[in-house]
Every structure is written in C-alpha cells, then in structure tokens.
Structure 1
Amino acid sequence: MITARMTAGRRIAASLAVAALAFGVTSCGAINQQATTTQYNASDGIHVDVADAEVRNLMFVANTDASEARLIGSVVNDADSAVSVSIKADSASAVTIEVPANEVIKLEDDANETVISSLGVNQGEHAVTIFTADGETVEFSVPVVDGTLAEYRDFVPGGYDSATTEHLKPVEHESTSGH
C-alpha cells in the first residue's frame, strides 16, 4: 500500500535527481570559457600590428626545397603618412614593403610579388619573423605552406610541381562492412 508520505518522498527524490542531472549537464559552463566568446583569426596566416601598419593573413608559400618563399597576405596603412614595413624571417634577407597613406598592399597581386630567398624553413613549420616599422619591432611566428592546397599553388616560387602532391590523392577501397 502506497501512502501519501511515500509518494512525497519519491517526489522529493525524483526532484533531487533531476536537479543533480541538470547541474551536471550545465555546470561545465561555470568553470570553462564559452568557446564562442574567443576571438581568433579565421585564416591560415597571422595578424600582427607594428606601428601604423596592420599585417593581415600573412604567410610564406615555399617551393619544395624551401630555397624561396613568396609572401602572401595584406599590409594595411590607415595612417595619414606612408609607412615602410621590414620583414625578416629566420636566416633570410629582409624585404621592405612600402605602403602609401590610407592604402592596402595585397601581396597576392602580381605587382606586389615579394619573394624571399634562402628562407630555410620547411613547409608545415613556422618561421620566426621580425616585423619593423617606424622604429617599432614585433617578433611573430609565421606559417610556411606549399602547393598542397590548391588555393596556394599559383604562389609557389618557380611554379607548382604536381609530382609533390600526386601521392596524396584519395584511393577508393572496397567496403567490407556491407554499408
């Protein structure tokens, strides 16, 4: 026979179980940062500011032996006077990019092609790079990519060689699972 006291006890126990479950499911937000509040650069390249210059989505696209690498990305100057940005990666010689006042230099454009010789950093690694403008210096790690991804193939110094990635093509396998 079920009494009113037993029913009330079961309701309380059930309520506590539901509360414990709800706390367990939602409490991780109390101690972990919400991922959607983290700001990041949604690109393959880096973003760095040096003096009045804003370097955006910068990376090196290297050839197979990393003897040369092309810079791609943009350098933005929102100031009212021109700025010169020096970029020196690892053991390579420095290059200088002149950016007129209130202009953007897009390094992907043929007119702005900037190639660094003797980069000495392999694809998939990062090159320690020093950015200098108006007496300010910033050091940053810049990614080095190659022509594996189609969107970078046009920027490989000396041209893209398909032999370097032809082994990466997917191979169809027969499924044994019956699906």
Structure 2
Amino acid sequence: MITARMTAGRRIAASLAVAALAFGVTSCGAINEQSTATDYAASDGINVDVADAEVRNLMFVTNAEATEARLIGTVVNSSDSDLNLQIKAANATPVTVSVPAEGEIKLEDDANETVISNLNVAAGRHADTQFTASGTTVDFSVPVVDGTLAEYRDFVPGGHDESTTEHLTPSHTTSSGH
C-alpha cells in the first residue's frame, strides 16, 4: 500500500514537471511580440508611405565615386488619380517619379530608370531623404549600396567596375598538411 501511494505521488510529480516544462517552452509567445506580426522591409531597401504613395524596398545603388545613384524599388499609387512623388536625397538634385492612378512603377525596369546626381553618400551608409507627394512630406533614411553584391551590379550608374570587387574573389591555397 505504501508502494502504490509512492508510485501515484511520483506520477503526479512527473506530470507536474512535464506540464511546467511545456508551459515554460510555449509561454514566451504570451509575453513576446510575434515577429510575423511586425511590418518590415524584408530586403535591403526601406518601406515608407507618403500620402497615397507606397514606396517599397527602395534603395540607392551608387557608383564607385558615390556621386550618382540609381533608385531601385517600387512605388505604388493607391489612389484613383495620377501621383507625382518627389524624392530628394541628402544634397542631391531632386527627382520625381510619376505613377498612374492605381498603378505601380518598378524602378528596376529600364523604362523607369531614375538616376540622381550629386548624392555624395558612400555605399554602406544611409542617405537622409525627403519624400513628397500630394502636399505631404516624410523624412526617411535610405540605404546606399554599390555593386559589391551581384544582384545590384546591373543598376550601378555607368556600369559596375570589376576592380572594386576583385579582392572579394576567394583564392585557392594549398596546404602542406602539417
């Protein structure tokens, strides 16, 4: 009889231990924000909304001198009338992206190539940028990249200079085995 009570007590204790472990493993979701509920730019660019303009994954791709930069990303117009979005980065000459009503402009497309002059912000930094549409202005920090990553090389104003990345190519070395 004592043995049966001890076994029941052990079972209860084991059940409580398992329940406490399960609660400890799953309870973090109860007090921490779910990362899937957070809106963020999943790539290198930024997302910003200005009036009816929704700017998605925008960034500047600069040349080696960091004087010119091409904008890449998408501008979506959620209104039923045409929209002009003015973009002024740092000390650069402002540019305007025109988006038709309920349309979008993909700046990576050759037909929509938009290059700004006098950016003078080096790759790896951010350019303080003003976005203006329909009388609303929003300030945002926009990343500046160059052709170091292969996916951006086609967008470098004036073309990508291979000499700026040749040092990134791995070299094969031989080992003597000692």
Provide the TM-score with structure 2 as the length reference: 0.87
Quick one: which amino acid aligns to residue 145 of structure 2?
Answer: V
Call closer, same or farther: CA 1:26–1:153 in 2, change over 3 Å: same
RMSD of aligned Cα (Å): 2.3
Corresponding position of 2:44: 44
Call closer, same or farther: CA 1:20–1:172 in 2, change over 3 Å: farther
After the TM superposition, which of the residue ranges 58-67 and 21-30 deviates more from structure 2? 21-30
Corresponding position of 1:4: 4
Corresponding position of 2:24: 24
Q: SS in structure 2 opposite 1:3?
A: helix
Quick one: which amino acid aligns to residue 50 of structure 1?
Answer: V
Quick one: which amino acid aligns to residue 12 of structure 1?
Answer: I
Query: In structure 2, what is the Cα distance between the partners aligned to 1:170 and 1:17?
Result: 52
Query: How far is the alpha carbon of 1:97 from its aligned partner?
Result: 1.8
Query: How far is the alpha carbon of 1:121 from its aligned partner?
Result: 1.2
Q: SS in structure 1 opposite 2:72?
A: strand
Corresponding position of 1:155: 155
Quick one: which amino acid aligns to residue 148 of structure 2?
Answer: T
Work out the number of aligned pairs and report it: 176
Alignment gaps of 5+ in structure 1:
none
Query: In structure 2, what is the Cα distance between the partners aligned to 1:12 and 1:102?
Result: 63
The reply on whether 1:100 has 2:103 as its aligned counterpart is: no
Query: How far is the alpha carbon of 1:174 from its aligned partner?
Result: 6.8
After the TM superposition, which of the residue ranges 64-73 and 47-56 deviates more from structure 2? 47-56
After the TM superposition, which of the residue ranges 85-94 and 27-36 deviates more from structure 2? 27-36
1:105-124 alignment, distance < 5 Å:
105-124=105-124
Q: Contact 2:50–2:132 at 8 Å: present in 1 too?
A: yes
Percent identity of the aligned residues? 74
Corresponding position of 2:69: 69
Quick one: which amino acid aligns to residue 29 of structure 1?
Answer: G
Query: How far is the alpha carbon of 1:172 from its aligned partner?
Result: 4.7
Call closer, same or farther: CA 1:3–1:173 in 2, change over 3 Å: farther
